[in-house]
Amino acid sequence: MDRARFEELVTQTVKSLPDEFLNRLDNIDVIVEDQATVTQLRKSRLKANQILLGLYEGVPRTKRGSGYGLVLPDKITIFQKQIEALCRTEEEIVAEIGRVVKHEIAHHFGISDARLHELGRY
Q: What is the pLDDT of residues 15-52, one digit of tens each?
A: 999 998 888 887 889 999 999 998 888 888 777 778 89
Say if pTM beats, i.e. exceeds, 0.85. Answer: yes
How high is the mean pLDDT of the chain? 87
What are residue 28's phi and psi, to 5 degrees? -145, 135
At residue 121, the pLDDT reads 60
Q: Which of 111, 4, 107 is nearest to 54 (CA)?
A: 107
Give the C-alpha distances (Å, rounded to integers) separating 2 from 81, 90, 110.
Answer: 11, 12, 32
Domain region containing 13? 3-118
Number of domains present in the structure of the chain: 1
User: How far apart, in whole angstroms, are the C-alpha atoms of residue 6 and residue 68?
Assistant: 33
CATH of the domain at 43: 3.30.2010.20
SS (H, E, C) the chain: CCHHHHHHHHHHHHHCCCHHHHCCCCCEEEEEECCCCHHHHHHHCCCCCCCCCEEEECCCHHHCCCCCCCCCCEEEEEEHHHHHHHCCCHHHHHHHHHHHHHHHHHHHCCCCHHHHHHCCCC
Counting residues of the chain whose pLDDT is more than 70, the rounded percentage is 95
> For residue 49, how many other CB atoms are within 10 A of its CB?
5
